[in-house]
C-alpha cells in the first residue's frame, strides 16, 4: 500500500480545542482533521441531534410530492412503492410502505426481478400497476433516468414520484415530482443522501406537515442506518446524524427482520460494521439469488418467530451467493492471466454464464487482486450486462460517459455503476474503456492508498484513548476509524499464522519497551518468516477491542506492514 500521511493540523487550533474539551492533543488533532475546531462543533459531532436534520421542503419538488401523496391517501388511490433490489432499494421500499400504511394508504410494494426485468423502473412493473388500478408509483433508489418509462406510465394514467440519489442526465423524467439532491436546480444543503435517505426526507415532510415531530420517526431509522452503511455514502452531515440515531434504534428496539439478520453476528452492541458485513450481504443475497421481494417481506415482518425463520431462508441464499462469487472470481482471475492483462490500465472481463447477481461482488474482488477500474460482464437475455467498480480517486462514471457510443444504458456513482451493451459491441467497448482509463488514471492512483491519521506511540494506547475514539462513530467514508502508524516495532516470538488455512497473522509486538500488545492482520499469514527474521517493522493500524473468554482488551487491527 501507498501510505499517505495526513497533514499535521494547525497546532494552535488543536491546543485550544484540547483545552476546551479536556482531551489529549492527539485527539484534538483527529478532530481538527475532520473539520472540527470549536467546542460547539465537537459537541455536535459527538452528540448528533435530530435538530441537525434539514428542512425536507428545501428539496426541489418536495411540496409537490407531499401534495400528491396526500391527495392519493385522501382519495384512497392505490399506491405502488417501487424500489431497486439491493439494500438501499429494499430498505427504502420497506420504510415508505410502512409509513404510508400508518396513514391508512392503499399500498402495494414492487421490486423488479433482477434477471427478468433488470435494474430500475421496468415496463413490466408499470403494466402490473395498470392491471391493479394503481394511479401513483413512488420510486425509490432508481428512476432518475427513466424518461421513457415515466412517459409510458403517464399514457396509462399513472403518476410518478421519484426519490433517487444517482446523478441525473441532461433531461429529468416527466414525473409529478423528482426528489434528488443531485439535481443541478436543487438547493438542498446536503447532497450525499442514499436512496433510503431521500425516501426518509419525504416521510419527514409528510409527517411534519401534519404537526408531527422527528422523534416519532425513530422506528424507521434502523432501516436508514442499514442503507447508509451498505450504500457506502459519506458518513458526514445528515448521514452521520441519521446513522447515529439509527444505531441507537437498532440496539434498543430493532425491527424483527434486522434483529434476525444481525443474530448471525456474535458482536454486540451492533455497529455500522455489523450492518455492512452481516445484515447487508444477506439482504442483498435475496435479490441476487432469488428475489428482492423476500428482503422487503422480512424487513416488514412484525412477528419475531416468523422473521427468524425467514432470515434462515435468506441465509441459504447467502451461502449460495458466497460459493458462486468465489468460483466466478477464480474464473475471472484465470481469464486475466490467460489474456496476459495483469498489468492493463483497466480490467474488463466477460463470460456469458456468470451469475448476474454476483458480478458486482466479483468486480470488487478483482480490484483486491488487480487494483484497477474493473468491469465484469455476463449475458443477460439479448444483451450483455456489467457491474463496474473503481479505485479510490477515479471517477468511473465519467469514464463510461466517454464510451457512450457503445453503451445501451448506464447509471451509477463515481465508484460504482452498471451498464448494458450489445454483444457485438463488447470488443469496441473494452478497447475504449481501457484507453480512457489509461489516459486519465494517474500513476499514483494505481496503488492502493492507506491514509494515516497520525503517528502513535504504544504507551499512548490507553482505555481512555480507545473510549474517546469510539465516540467518533458511526464510522464510514469521510469519517473512517482513525488509522495510526508506529515505526520501529519489535516483533515478539508469539507472532504466528492463524486461521483454518493459516492465511491470517496474529502479532504480538512491543515498542520502546512498552508492554506487549497483540494485533490481527488479515491476509498476512505468509509474512511470518520475514517478520521473525527482521524482528522489526512499521505498522499501520486502527484500534479495536478483543473479547476472549469473558475478558476484553485493546488490540491492533493491522492494515499494513512494512519491513
Q: What is the pLDDT of residue 549?
A: 73
Q: What are phi and psi of 225, to 5 degrees?
A: -65, -30
What are 322-372's pLDDT values in tens digits?
Answer: 999 999 999 999 999 999 998 899 999 999 999 998 999 999 999 999 999
pLDDT bracket for residue 517 (50, 70, 90): very high
Question: Average of pLDDT values for 472-483?
Answer: 95
Number of compact structural domains in the chain = 3
Cα Rg of the chain, angstroms: 25
Q: Is the peptide bond before 367 cis (omega within 30 degrees of 0)?
A: no
Residue 370 DSSP one-character state: S
What are 438-451's pLDDT values in tens digits?
Answer: 999 999 999 999 99
Q: What are phi and psi of 109, to 5 degrees?
A: -110, 155
| In a domain? residue 323 | no
Whose cell is 457503445? That residue is 406
- Same domain, residue pair 122 and 253: yes
Question: Average of pLDDT values for 261-284?
Answer: 94
Distance CA 286, CA 387 (A): 18
- Same domain, residue pair 354 and 484: no
Whether the per-residue pLDDT at 115 is higher than 90: the answer is: no
Going through 127-179 in order, the beta strands assigned E by DSSP cover 134-140, 159-163, 177-179
Examine the fold and report which residue of 446, 473, 498 is the final residue of a domain before the chain moves on. 446
Q: What are phi and psi of 110, to 5 degrees?
A: -150, 125
How are beta strands 484-491 and 536-548 bridged, if at all? Answer: antiparallel
Q: What is the pLDDT of residue 232?
A: 87
| In a domain? residue 184 | yes
Q: What are phi and psi of 146, to 5 degrees?
A: -85, 55
Beta-carbon contacts of 360 under 8 Å, excluding residues fewer than 6 positions away, are: 376, 387, 389, 416, 418
Residue 319 CB neighbour total at 10 angstroms = 12
| In a domain? residue 286 | yes
- Same domain, residue pair 356 and 396: yes
The percentage of residues in the chain with a pLDDT greater than 90, rounded to a whole number, is: 92
Q: Residue 507 sits in a domain of what CATH number?
A: 2.40.50.460
The percentage of residues in the chain with a pLDDT greater than 70, rounded to a whole number, is: 100
- Same domain, residue pair 551 and 436: no
Domain extent at residue 494: 2-7+450-562
What is the DSSP secondary-structure string of 319-367?
HHHHHHHHHHHHHHHHHHHHTT-TT-SSEEEE-TTS-GGGHHHHHHHHH
| Selection from 256-260, 336-340, 509-513 with the highest mean pLDDT | 256-260
HSE-up of residue 351 (Cα within 13 Å, Cβ side): 16
- Mean pLDDT in the chain? 95
Distance CA 256, CA 440 (A): 47
- Same domain, residue pair 407 and 307: no
* Angle at which helices 39-46 and 11-21 cross, to 10°: 60
Whether the per-residue pLDDT at 401 is higher than 80: the answer is: yes
Whether the per-residue pLDDT at 133 is higher than 80: the answer is: yes
Q: What is the pLDDT of residue 336?
A: 96
Question: Average of pLDDT values for 156-163?
Answer: 98
Question: Average of pLDDT values for 406-411?
Answer: 93
- Same domain, residue pair 204 and 93: yes
Burial class from Cβ neighbours inside 10 Å (0-12, 13-18, 19+) for residue 248 reads middle
Q: What is the pLDDT of residue 173?
A: 98
Output the pTM of the full model. Answer: 0.91
- Same domain, residue pair 162 and 90: yes
In the chain, how many H helices and how many E strands? 20, 19
- Same domain, residue pair 133 and 238: yes
- Same domain, residue pair 435 and 487: no
- Same domain, residue pair 397 and 455: no
Question: Average of pLDDT values for 158-180?
Answer: 96
How are beta strands 78-83 and 134-140 bridged, if at all? Answer: parallel
Whether the per-residue pLDDT at 258 is higher than 80: the answer is: yes
- Same domain, residue pair 266 and 300: yes
**389 and 365 Cβ atoms separated by less than 8 Å:** no
- Same domain, residue pair 303 and 286: yes
**48 and 78 Cβ atoms separated by less than 8 Å:** no
Beta-carbon contacts of 251 under 8 Å, excluding residues fewer than 6 positions away, are: 268, 269, 270
Distance CA 350, CA 191 (A): 34
Residue 211 CB neighbour total at 10 angstroms = 6
Q: Residue 228 sits in a domain of what CATH number?
A: 3.90.1640.30
Whether the per-residue pLDDT at 479 is higher than 80: the answer is: yes
What are 190-215's pLDDT values in tens digits?
Answer: 999 999 999 999 999 999 999 999 99
Distance CA 92, CA 81 (A): 9
Examine the fold and report which residue of 446, 467, 487 is the final residue of a domain before the chain moves on. 446
Examine the fold and report which residue of 382, 411, 446 is the final residue of a domain before the chain moves on. 446
| In a domain? residue 490 | yes
Amino acid at each position: 500500500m501507498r501510505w499517505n500521511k495526513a497533514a499535521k493540523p494547525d497546532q494552535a487550533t488543536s491546543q485550544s480545542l484540547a483545552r476546551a474539551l479536556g482531551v489529549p492533543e492527539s485527539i484534538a488533532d483527529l478532530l481538527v482533521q475532520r473539520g472540527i475546531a470549536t467546542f460547539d462543533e465537537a459537541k455536535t459531532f459527538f452528540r448528533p441531534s435530530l435538530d441537525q436534520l434539514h428542512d425536507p421542503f428545501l428539496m426541489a419538488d418536495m411540496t409537490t410530492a407531499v401534495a400528491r401523496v396526500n391527495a392519493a391517501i385522501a382519495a384512497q388511490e392505490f399506491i405502488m412503492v417501487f424500489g431497486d433490489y439491493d439494500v438501499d432499494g429494499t430498505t427504502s421500499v420497506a420504510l415508505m410502505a410502512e409509513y404510508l400504511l400508518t396513514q391508512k394508504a392503499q399500498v402495494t410494494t414492487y421490486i423488479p426481478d433482477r434477471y427478468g426485468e433488470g435494474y430500475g423502473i421496468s415496463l413490466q412493473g408499470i403494466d402490473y400497476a395498470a392491471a391493479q388500478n394503481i394511479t401513483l408509483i413512488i420510486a425509490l433508489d432508481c428512476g432518475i433516468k427513466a424518461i421513457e418509462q415515466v412517459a409510458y406510465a403517464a399514457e396509462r394514467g399513472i403518476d410518478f414520484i421519484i426519490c433517487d440519489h444517482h446523478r441525473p442526465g441532461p433531461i429529468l423524467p416527466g414525473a409529478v415530482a423528482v426528489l434528488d439532491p443531485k439535481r443541478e436546480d436543487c438547493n438542498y444543503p446536503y447532497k450525499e443522501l442514499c436512496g433510503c435517505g431521500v425516501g426518509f426526507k419525504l416521510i419527514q415532510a409528510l409527517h411534519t406537515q401534519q404537526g408531527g415531530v422527528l422523534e416519532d420517526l425513530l422506528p424507521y431509522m434502523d432501516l436508514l442506518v442499514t442503507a447508509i452503511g451498505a450504500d457506502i455514502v459519506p458518513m458526514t452531515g445528515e448521514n452521520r446524524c441519521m446513522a447515529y440515531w439509527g444505531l441507537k434504534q437498532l440496539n434498543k428496539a430493532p425491527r424483527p427482520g434486522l434483529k434476525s439478520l444481525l443474530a448471525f453476528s456474535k458482536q454486540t452492541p451492533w455497529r455500522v460494521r455489523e450492518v455492512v458485513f452481516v445484515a447487508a450481504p444477506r439482504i442483498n443475497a435475496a435479490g441476487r439469488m432469488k428475489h428482492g421481494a423476500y428482503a422487503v417481506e422480512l424487513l416488514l415482518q412484525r412477528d419475531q418467530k416468523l422473521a427468524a425463520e425467514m432470515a434462515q431462508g435468506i441465509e441459504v441464499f447467502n451461502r449460495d451467493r458466497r460459493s458462486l462469487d468465489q468460483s466466478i472470481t477464480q474464473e475471472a482471475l484465470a481469464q486475466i492471466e490467460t489474456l496476459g492483462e495483469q498489468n492493463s490500465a483497466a480490467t474488463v472481463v466477460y463470460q456469458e454464464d456468470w451469475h448476474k447477481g454476483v458480478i458486482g461482488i466479483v468486480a470488487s474482488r478483482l480490484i483486491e487482486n488487480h487494483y484497477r477500474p474493473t468491469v465484469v460482464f455476463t449475458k443477460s437475455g439479448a444483451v450483455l450486462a456489467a457491474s463496474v467498480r473503481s479505485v479510490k480517486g477515479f471517477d468511473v462514471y465519467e469514464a463510461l460517459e466517454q464510451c457512450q457510443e457503445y453503451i445501451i444504458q448506464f447509471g451509477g456513482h463515481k465508484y460504482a455503476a452498471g451498464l448494458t451493451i450489445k454483444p457485438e459491441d463488447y470488443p469496441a467497448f473494452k478497447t475504449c474503456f481501457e484507453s480512457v482509463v489509461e489516459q486519465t488514471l494517474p500513476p499514483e492512483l494505481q496503488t492502493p492508498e492507506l491514509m494515516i491519521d497520525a503517528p502513535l506511540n504504544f504507551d499512548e494506547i490507553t482505555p481512555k484513548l480507545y473510549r474517546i475514539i469510539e465516540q467518533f462513530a458511526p464510522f464510514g467514508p469521510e469519517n473512517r476509524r482513525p488509522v495510526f502508524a508506529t515505526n520501529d516495532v519489535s516483533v515478539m516470538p508469539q507472532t504466528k499464522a492463524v486461521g483454518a488455512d493459516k492465511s491470517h497473522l496474529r502479532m504480538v509486538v512491543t515498542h520502546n519497551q512498552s508492554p506487549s500488545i497483540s494485533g490481527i492482520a488479515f491476509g498476512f499469514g505468509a509474512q511470518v518468516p520475514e517478520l521473525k527474521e527482521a524482528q522489526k517493522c512499521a505498522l499501520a493500524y486502527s484500534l479495536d477491542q478483543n473479547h476472549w473468554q469473558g475478558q476484553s482488551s485493546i488490540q491492533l487491527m493491522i492494515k499494513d506492514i512494512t519491513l
